[in-house]
Amino acid sequence: MRTAVTNDDFTITELQLKAKKDSKIHRKVYHAYFTAWPDRAIPDTPDSMIRFLREVDKWSEQADVKGPKLIHCSAGIGRTGTFITIDINIKRYISEQTVDIYQTVEELRKHRISMIQGHQQYLYCFTVLKALIERL
């Protein structure tokens, strides 16, 4: 295990996993832990989330990660849904110059009910996306 990045808001750790039966089979996994997000609430500003999103994207690109990101919080719906909604929409904005938070949440809820818990997290998506778009 190697801690690659650590600060007040998040930690990114590189893990090396090896198969029990054959140690020649191994895989690197990057674990990104966003510590600045209180359970059942939102961060005070969009800044820490923006730094976290950028760092996760940077590590994904540098590591040449194949496959999807695995996103999870304690219940797997509130913070998870908020992060995924922001991530999908900023990528959509970069490629199509449009965002659709409502449609994204509706689509996510087809796969997992209650993605994004309450109006605070929903509004936080708008806050972070607005700040991100203004910085592009």
Name the CA radius of gyration of the chain, rounded. 16
Spatial distance between the Cα atoms of 70 and 30, rounded to a whole number of angstroms: 10
Catalytic residue among 4, 5, 71, 73: 73
125 an active-site residue? no
Phi-psi region of 21 (alpha: psi -120 to 50; beta: other; left: phi over 0): alpha
Place of tokens 């961060």: 43
Catalytic center residues: 73
